[in-house]
Amino acid sequence: MKLYTFAFAPNPRRVHVYLAEKGIEMTLESVDIMAGQNRTPDFLAKNPLGGLPVLELDDGSHLTESLAIIQYLEELHPEKPMIGTTPLERARTREVERIAEIGVLSAVGTIFQNTSPFFAGRVKQSAEAAETARMRLANSLTVLDHKIGDKPFVMGAAPTIADCTLFAALKFGEFAGAPLDRGFHNVARWYDAFSKRPSAAD
């Protein structure tokens, strides 16, 4: 298998973190988004939407969504489970992961699109959309701050896919002009600690 990736983008990053936490080794091939390599005919044949990451399977077919890739790899490598071992654990983990993705990562993306000079002229930017996203981000971080509490990881004693997504989202926030508000003390403590893990290295 081969993973087409762009390490600095948030969706590839969460897969990288997952692979490192699981100890899964895989061939990586960088696709430079900034240079438009994800828009070439060759790459669009792998993922018509042009997004990353893309997992190329041994039969030549492809998986194109980060969570689908993680789910597939989790079933191939069930040891050190990172989604949960019971129906309720899996549901709780997915619940919190979705808050991290929709409430944090998506909100940061909206802020970035509507405030960055990079997107000026590419999309119709809206200060109101950015402000609404900042409110959604704060609400989601309030919920996550409560859920994390004093636990070492988002869901408890071991890392899960929720850690992967939240770390990628907050790391993207630093780049996108929406850094973590340190007033969310539990999230900040978790982020500082997780950032020191080998899986978090750039």
Using one digit for the tens of pLDDT, what is the confidence trace for 11-50? 999 999 999 999 999 999 999 998 999 999 999 999 999 9
* CATH topology agreement for domains 2-76 and 87-200: no
81/126 Cα distance (integer angstroms)? 41
Look up the CATH number of domain 2-76. Answer: 3.40.30.10
User: Is the CATH code 1.20.1050.10 the one for domain 87-200?
Assistant: yes
Q: Which two tokens stand for residue 201?
A: 């290295």
All structural domains of the chain with their residue ranges: 2-76, 87-200
Other residues' Cβ atoms within 10 Å of the Cβ of residue 161: 29
Average pLDDT value for the chain:
96
172/49 Cα distance (integer angstroms)? 21
Which residue type, as a one-letter code, is found at position 43? F
Q: Which two tokens stand for residue 179?
A: 């850094």
Q: Alpha-carbon dihedral of residues 167, 173, 174, 178, nearest 10 degrees?
A: -140
Please check whether residue 115 is in contact with residue 177, taking contact to mean a CB–CB distance below 8 angstroms: yes
Which residue type, as a one-letter code, is found at position 28? L
Please check whether residue 165 is in contact with residue 107, taking contact to mean a CB–CB distance below 8 angstroms: no
55/1 Cα distance (integer angstroms)? 7
38/106 Cα distance (integer angstroms)? 21
DSSP E strand boundaries for 27-137: 27-30, 54-56, 62-63
Average pLDDT value for residue range 70-88: 96
Using one digit for the tens of pLDDT, what is the confidence trace for 84-103? 999 999 999 999 999 999 99
Using one digit for the tens of pLDDT, what is the confidence trace for 128-165? 999 999 999 999 999 999 999 999 999 999 999 999 99
In sequence order, which ranges of the chain are alpha helices (DSSP H)?
Answer: 10-22, 41-44, 66-76, 87-98, 106-115, 127-148, 161-176, 185-194
Question: 85: part of which helix (H) or strand (E)?
Answer: none
DSSP 10-43: HHHHHHHHHHHHHT---EEEE--TTTTGGGSHHH
Beta bridge partners of 10: none
pLDDT given at position 7: 85
Beta bridge partners of 2: 27, 56
Q: Does the pLDDT value for residue 125 go beyond 90?
A: yes
pLDDT given at position 122: 83
